[in-house]
Amino acid sequence: MKFTIHNPFKVVEDRPTPPQVYNWKVYACGIVLAAAALEIGYDSGFIGGTLALDSFASEFGLDQMTTSHHSFITSNIISVFHAGCFFGSIFSYFFTYYKGRKFGLLFSCVTMALGAILMMLPSHSRGLVPLYLGRTLAGVGVGCSTSIVPVYLAEISPPGIRGRVSAMYELGWRVGDTTGFFIAYGVSDTIKESFKQWYIPFAVQLIPAGLYIIGVSFLIETPRWLVGKGRDEEALKNLCWLRNLNEEDEYIQWEFNNMKEEIEVQKRTVGLGFTDPFRELARKPSILKRLFISAGLYVLQDLYGIQSINYYSPTIFKQIGVKSTNTSLFSSGLFGVCKLISTIIWAAFVVEQFGRRTTLLFTSPICALCFFYIGGYVKYKTSGPEAKAALGLVYVWCFFFIMGWSGTPYVVGAEIFDNNIRGACQAINSMFLWLGVFLMTRFTTQMVASMKYGLFFFFAGFAVLSIPFVYFLLPETKGVSLEYMDRLFAKPAWRAHKELFEELDEERLERERVDGLGSPLTPMFTQDDVDEKASAEFVEEASIKRSGV
């Protein structure tokens, strides 16, 4: 059997694409919007460790409460943020429809910054009310951003690198996550018990919020949204800027006309009104099925246990056998490092090289086995190598969760819907995401107390259930243009990707027979085959080469 090592940076395309299209501008937009994810990741990284500090408990009298009351207050502080996220995801559709993707992003970053400022106001005399308000307001901004950012990135990215650009959002999340873990550990280890010890982690939130505001102010509106609003001239200008090509370029004309054609089809079939996407969902089972799949991925992501470990990592690590608060915070920091390294690998190599469906199916059974072992260890609590194995498997689980389930749902949710319903569907996806996060963070402490080792079996069970869900419902979307998603999802999931690209090849060959030259719609053409020629010459040469002339 022949074994071939593929170039991990090879770009899979459904048409020959000029090299100018893969330029710094799209990646720069991804980096800017990663600042939004920094804020979200930082919250998940720092809040659990900061609330576990004795200085925070004594500042607000939590150390005078019963254990159950203390846990209740802690759960409320954490979960109001996610309640805000839920409502923010609802508001996001209004902004994306009427005001555009960029305006929605501006609203989200300003709201997040105001929330971060409010979180700096609580004290012994003022109580926790400013903290509750600040976390709720910041959550509204975060909920908006999680709905809008994936849509924005999917709409500006060429198909060949869409997954990689969208993955930058997940990477920003993990950078913030790791930073939050180590800041919580750092103040615990280096600052004596005081007001400053718990206050500093809250104040640091202003940094990513400020970076987000500055970055978003330089972004442009997406061409797809502008075409949908009839602003063709502005859309063409923005598309040329993103692709680094002029208006007369053959590739620009093809992509722009494709957008217009898609909008015209949607205008005739779906409508362009505010409520039309919801009517389309109600009357078209194929779209409803797609929404069920994408929302299901978000819910399953939460049920894998990532939010419980993110926000209650000190508690979880103590349950596994890590005793002191300081040591558990350090273990949480290592957990954050593991997530960051894994995300870099996923974003750079995995998401485009191996695709969405394949990674989900490969990682699910490994995640399940890790939690089955950890649950068994927590039940019997033996000392020796079994304890080290349980702790090590937390990091193994983390690596494979990131490879499959951490960022992939965001990529899939943003790329499988038509332009006119994408904003509405992503808002619904985001609502399911944050509803799941809210429930998991609100009740994790109670689940730890009542279920004990059963908590890990609970997570493992949903990892097992995710395997048939993905296999039978989710086709591979790697390298597929947004315009071809309807055709992809009309086929059986386990063979849809292969069949679609075979059909596109046949259609291309038929066009070549008809016109004798070819068309720019050539599937599976990789960037490795591209030279630095002008776009029109490149398309012509590619067509001649493929037709054997």
SS (H, E, C) 470-530: HHHHCCCCCCCCHHHHHHHHCCCHHHHHHHHHHHHHHHHHHHHHHHCCCCCCCCCCCHHHC
Q: Which amino acid is at 19?
A: P
- Return the DSSP state at 94: H
Does the pLDDT of residue 134 top 80, yes or no?
Answer: yes
Is residue 466 within 8 A of residue 364, CB to CB? The reply is yes
Q: What percent of the chain has pLDDT over 70?
A: 87
- DSSP letter for each residue of 19-88: GGGS-HHHHHHHHHHHHHHHHHHHHHHHHHHHHTSHHHHHHTTGGGS-HHHHHHHHHHHHHHHHHHHHHH
Residue 117 falls inside a structural domain: yes
* Mean pLDDT of the 197-212 span: 92
How confident is residue 305, by pLDDT bands cut at 50, 70 and 90? confident
As a whole number, the mean pLDDT across the chain is 83
Does the pLDDT of residue 544 top 50, yes or no?
Answer: no
Is residue 71 within 8 A of residue 445, CB to CB? The reply is yes
Contacts of residue 118, defined as CB under 8 A and 6 or more positions apart, other chains included, come to 130, 131, 133, 134, 137, 138
How confident is residue 421, by pLDDT bands cut at 50, 70 and 90? confident
Strand partners, 123: 127
CA distance 106 to 162: 23
Q: Report the SS3 class of residue 157.
A: coil
Residue 266 falls inside a structural domain: no
Q: Nearest-CA neighbor of 404 among 352, 373, 358?
A: 358
- DSSP letter for each residue of 118-139: HTT--BTTTBSHHHHHHHHHHH
How confident is residue 330, by pLDDT bands cut at 50, 70 and 90? low
Lowest mean pLDDT among 180-184, 372-376, 400-404, 418-422: 418-422
How confident is residue 511, by pLDDT bands cut at 50, 70 and 90? confident
How confident is residue 524, by pLDDT bands cut at 50, 70 and 90? very low
Q: Which amino acid is at 155?
A: E
Report in angstroms the alpha-carbon separations of 318 from 210, 345, 387.
35, 29, 12
Q: What is the CATH number of the domain that holds 178?
A: 1.20.1250.20
Q: Which is more confidently placed, 378 or 142?
A: 142
Is residue 179 within 8 A of residue 42, CB to CB? The reply is yes
Q: Which amino acid is at 281?
A: L
* Mean pLDDT of the 391-416 span: 89
The pLDDT, as a whole number, for residue 329 is: 62
Q: Report the SS3 class of residue 353.
A: helix
Domain span at residue 417 reads 21-226+275-484
Does the pLDDT of residue 284 top 90, yes or no?
Answer: no
Q: Report the SS3 class of residue 440.
A: helix
Which range, 212-221, 282-291, 537-546, is most confident?
Answer: 212-221
Which range, 191-200, 306-315, 418-427, 478-487, is most confident?
Answer: 191-200
Contacts of residue 67, defined as CB under 8 A and 6 or more positions apart, other chains included, come to none
Residue 172 falls inside a structural domain: yes
Residue 120 falls inside a structural domain: yes
How confident is residue 358, by pLDDT bands cut at 50, 70 and 90? very high
φ and ψ of 99, to 5 deg: -110, -15
Does the pLDDT of residue 59 top 80, yes or no?
Answer: yes
Contacts of residue 465, defined as CB under 8 A and 6 or more positions apart, other chains included, come to 300
The pLDDT, as a whole number, for residue 332 is: 66
Does the pLDDT of residue 492 top 70, yes or no?
Answer: yes
- DSSP letter for each residue of 276-345: HHHHHHHH-HHHHHHHHHHHHHHHHHHHTTHHHHHHSHHHHHHHHT--SHHHHHHHHHHHHHHHHHHHHH
What H or E segment, with its residue span, contains residue 228?
helix 223-228
Q: Which is more confidently placed, 532 or 252?
A: 252
Does the pLDDT of residue 458 top 90, yes or no?
Answer: yes
Q: Which is more confidently placed, 383 or 391?
A: 391
Lowest mean pLDDT among 367-371, 386-390, 434-438: 386-390
Q: Looking at the 3D structure of the chain, how many domains does it have?
A: 1
Residue 70 falls inside a structural domain: yes
DSSP E strands in 190-253: the ranges are none
Does the pLDDT of residue 298 top 70, yes or no?
Answer: yes
The pLDDT, as a whole number, for residue 464 is: 96
* Mean pLDDT of the 43-54 span: 86
Residue 59 falls inside a structural domain: yes
Contacts of residue 109, defined as CB under 8 A and 6 or more positions apart, other chains included, come to 36, 141, 145, 209, 212, 213, 216
Retrieve residue 99's tokens.
């005001």
